[in-house]
Structure 1
Amino acid sequence: MTESIEQSDSNLSLTENAYLRFATIGFMYFSQGLPLGLFGVALPTFFAEIGFTKSEIATYLAIIGLPWAFKFFAGPLMDYVSFLIYGHRRPWVVIAQAGLLLTFTMSGFIAGFGDPNIVVLAGCGFVLNLFSSTQDVAVDGLAISVLKESERSKATALMFGSQKIGNLAGAVGGGLFLNSLGVSGACIAAAFTTLCLLMLPLLVKERSVEKRFPWSTGGQIAPEVLALKVDKFLPMLVDLFKKLVAPLSLFFILAFFCDSVAGGMLASYLPSFTVQDLGWDDNAYNAWYSTVNLLAAGIGLLLSPCFDLFGQRKCLVVIGALTVLGMIVFVAAPGLQSNWGWQAFIFAFFLSQHLFGVLLISACMQLVSPAVAASQFAIYMSIANLSSTIGTTLIAIWGDTWTFETIVMVAAVFVLASPVLFWLTHLGIGPQRDQALAST
């Protein structure tokens, strides 16, 4: 009987069950995509349809995106505050997922009173993304902790794809619920989905020796987890700061900044522009945006061998040049600005944004120092999120006064600057050179 229980615990531990590892990581990334799709895509187009201005919608998007810009605070907090008897990262995943559940539920109740209030929903979206970004850091840490080296490439592709599918579910499914049941119904549906997903990290263990619940009998801290505990916090922060302000790192930060500002500008401008200026139905934009994201995820996966073969550096320059050329041609040729032309433009721009992200993040993995990898990686990602928020802020300020031609051209300048700055890092040249750079 005892052997049977131990065998069952082993089967439900992430380190001893590969299928469970991938399922847990994939479903948690799907869960991150839900608030991004519902509050970041479906609600903005819904707001545009009921009469809110571009500046109001961009301000809303800037507010709800802020937690992603400051998620770097979560990494050191998780390193320092731990509940190791329940696992290295699992407790934080459960806490963040439970926070998503409670916030979706409260948002549903709050939205049930009166007409949709963009200020109140911005507050709800802010709290949702606070938990979602915390869950992102926790799941990244969980993946590093339980994945084998040979599984990391597959897991990275799964993470990208799962979040895109979650984004699609939040955008398209959320859009349908918004039109049929209102904001309250959409939030309650998201809460139910989040509750189902919470069961996975709640029931599994990272390692079979650990406790599952506070009331579970037995349990101990795994030796390999105990070795990861941070005892001296300040020296770690000093080392991290030195890595971040190195010239190589600063050029990389600027490259990531420029790319993310461009993405933030058009991601916040296009939902209201397509509905109010082009006459699209809000569900039409949600469906096309989600389809584009799914196609981009698949194309990125197919092109990944080419990125390895030619290096991120050359690929970024080629993609950047083609993107800027396409933006200039589209603005200069009014005949291209038909309904299908706008669909093609949205597809091409967000595809290039996805490919830029894949290339920059893979280069980031080469850049981080093993000693402070988790915190350093989280900070780079936070800078990208903050830069995207800066892009939405530009639209919040000038979205109602600038023409779309001006907005596209300003975004094109940032797109062009990104590969130029990345070239100065000397990252992404080739495997041998990258290994040498990473070791310095």
Structure 2
Amino acid sequence: MNLLKTKTGRLAAFGGLYMSEGLPQGFAGVALALEFKRRGMDAAALGTFAATIMLPWTWKFIMGPFVDNLHIRRFGARKQWIVFAQVGMLACLAFALMRMPEFTAAGAVGLGLFTTLMVLHNVFAATQDVAIDALACSVLKKEERGLANGLMFGCAQAGNAIGGSGVLFIKDLTGSFGTASLLVPFLLLAILACTITMICEKSAAREMAEGEMPAPEPGDTGMRAAVDQIRDYAITVGKTIFGTRRGFLGFALAILPFGGMALSMTVSTVIAPSLGMDDSELAKLNLVGTLFWVPACLSGGWFSDRFGRRLSVATFSILSVLPGLWMGYQLRRLGWDHPPEGVDGVWPRQDQLIGYWWIATIIFSVFNGLMYGVRAAFFMDIVNPKIAGTHFTALMAMLNLVTAYTYFWQGQALDTGAWNWTLWQIFLVDTLLGLVFLAIIPFVQPKQIHLDEA
């Protein structure tokens, strides 16, 4: 059976492949982060951990030239990289789960090794993402791409929910995080088996023979071609960003957050369990938030097609800061200035405050989803058409960098041993940072740019 032979099969194949990307992200960002918090990891360490394991996604574009040029010719050019990456993801995650750090009064024992393994896991995950996109470009028909991309994105979010909420639900039932965490490698193994047996791609040698893929020049090696492409990539992107006004402004936008982020990152991981919510409640909240986020994201593009990219992304971003600002005010009004310290530190459970957290999180999920549905399209509109793929990839990498440094600064701000900000101050700064882009976006026209623009 070859899923790539039919439209339904292709949609199922890429949906499953993208789910394999969302599973470990939801596990690390929700279930694992919450478990570390419950075991006593402080906010600064938690933020640093989350930021560190995100870093491979900021330079995944480096893997593109290797995926394009290094192949074992008897196998499919993209499939071999997907299988290689999935095996690497699975091995690193399985080994990491066997080497979970132990938290003591003196600190976390084994956290360095665990973090290294999770970074390597994400190196493989980012490589897989590049290979999946390359396969999609080669096998999806033009009339399928819109539906396929929407499905792929939705399946990634479904994987995120399973890796986060699914693990938390199982932990609540079994009482064991170790048992619950086996869900993720088990599903990754199932997807790997389906990839090997149900996705059949032409061999690299056959594609070269049929002219569907360029063959290497005589005497040239795939490694040399990859290195040359990386060098050319850096030069081309550098000229675009620093040699044109619109290119530089687009880069400035890409390294800034669009709207609030506190309700979805380190602040959320630290505060939510401190409110007294158990794992089952947090799993439900994450799941419901995802169910609101996905259709909102799909709707964002529809709005931008009718009302314009800049207006839509700016409006949704502004709206996304309001739930966090409101939640920060409620915490301040009720006297909750800092999260409690210690493994078992929780505030006295207050249903009214937990209700506020639910309201803020769901409303944020809607506005943040709407913004995400527009932002990528906005950057597509402003990239240099001569190097559209290269330029766009660089900007998307910077968006991942925003996620990494936001994890870091929020962790430092929450920690009483570091910056020791109040929760109101953190939500306020998150709001202000989320609105800085408004000073730049009016000067960036959503139209194609050229290298000779000044």
Aligned to 2:266: 268
Decide whether the 8 Å contact of 1:84 with 1:221 is kept in 2. Answer: no
How is 1:59-70 mapped onto 2 (pairs within 5 angstroms)? 59-70=48-59
One-letter identity of the residue aligned with 1:12: N
Instruction: Provide the rounded CA distance (Å) in 2 between the counterparts of 1:349 and 1:416.
Output: 15
1:349-381 per-position Cα deviation (integer Å, ceiling 9, x unaligned): 233333222211112233445664444333222
**Aligned-pair CA distance for 1:176:** 3.3
Q: Which residues of structure 1 form unaligned runs of 5+?
A: 1-10, 212-217, 428-433
Instruction: Provide the rounded CA distance (Å) in 1 between the counterparts of 2:153 and 2:3.
Output: 24
Aligned to 2:257: 259
**Aligned-pair CA distance for 1:131:** 1.6
Aligned to 1:227: 214
Q: Secondary structure at the match of 2:421?
A: coil
Distance 1:305 1:262, change over 3 A: closer
Q: Secondary structure at the match of 2:40?
A: coil
How is 1:166-245 mapped onto 2 (pairs within 5 angstroms)? 166-179=159-172, 180=174, 182-205=176-199, 207=201, 209-210=202-203, 221=208, 223-227=210-214, 231=225, 233=229, 234-245=231-242
Aligned to 1:154: 147
Instruction: Provide the rounded CA distance (Å) in 2 between the counterparts of 1:261 and 1:306.
Output: 18
**Aligned-pair CA distance for 1:396:** 2.5
Identity %: 23
Instruction: Provide the rounded CA distance (Å) in 1 between the counterparts of 2:324 and 2:28.
Output: 28
One-letter identity of the residue aligned with 1:349: F
How is 1:346-361 mapped onto 2 (pairs within 5 angstroms)? 346-361=361-376
Aligned-residue RMSD, C-alpha: 3.1
Decide whether the 8 Å contact of 1:75 with 1:375 is kept in 2. Answer: no
**Aligned-pair CA distance for 1:197:** 0.2
Instruction: Provide the rounded CA distance (Å) in 2 between the counterparts of 1:108 and 1:321.
Output: 39
Distance 1:117 1:70, change over 3 A: farther
Decide whether the 8 Å contact of 2:259 with 2:435 is kept in 1. Answer: no
**Aligned-pair CA distance for 1:270:** 0.9
- Residues 1:409 and 2:428 are matched in the alignment: yes
Instruction: Provide the rounded CA distance (Å) in 2 between the counterparts of 1:362 and 1:98.
Output: 32
**Aligned-pair CA distance for 1:84:** 5.4
1:212-267 per-position Cα deviation (integer Å, ceiling 9, x unaligned): xxxxxx95536353238785634454333323433323322322322269537851
Aligned to 2:340: none
Aligned partner (choices 92, 95, 114) of residue 81 of structure 2: 92
Decide whether the 8 Å contact of 2:299 with 2:370 is kept in 1. Answer: no
Aligned partner (choices 279, 286, 297) of residue 294 of structure 2: 297
- Residues 1:131 and 2:124 are matched in the alignment: yes
Instruction: Provide the rounded CA distance (Å) in 2 between the counterparts of 1:178 and 1:281.
Output: 11
Q: Secondary structure at the match of 1:227?
A: coil
Q: State which drifts further: 218-227 or 188-197.
A: 218-227
Decide whether the 8 Å contact of 2:258 with 2:435 is kept in 1. Answer: no
Give the TM-score taking structure 1 as reference length.
0.83
How is 1:305-320 mapped onto 2 (pairs within 5 angstroms)? 305-320=302-317
Decide whether the 8 Å contact of 1:22 with 1:155 is kept in 2. Answer: yes
Aligned to 2:408: 393
Instruction: Provide the rounded CA distance (Å) in 1 between the counterparts of 2:154 and 2:215.
Output: 29
Instruction: Provide the rounded CA distance (Å) in 1 between the counterparts of 2:12 and 2:109.
Output: 37
Decide whether the 8 Å contact of 1:210 with 1:220 is kept in 2. Answer: yes
Q: Which residues of structure 2 form unaligned runs of 5+?
A: 217-221, 335-350
How is 1:7-26 mapped onto 2 (pairs within 5 angstroms)? 12=2, 14=4, 16-26=5-15
Decide whether the 8 Å contact of 2:262 with 2:324 is kept in 1. Answer: no
Give the TM-score taking structure 2 as reference length.
0.81
Instruction: Provide the rounded CA distance (Å) in 2 between the counterparts of 1:384 and 1:294.
Output: 23
Aligned to 2:341: none
Instruction: Provide the rounded CA distance (Å) in 2 between the counterparts of 1:205 and 1:158.
Output: 18
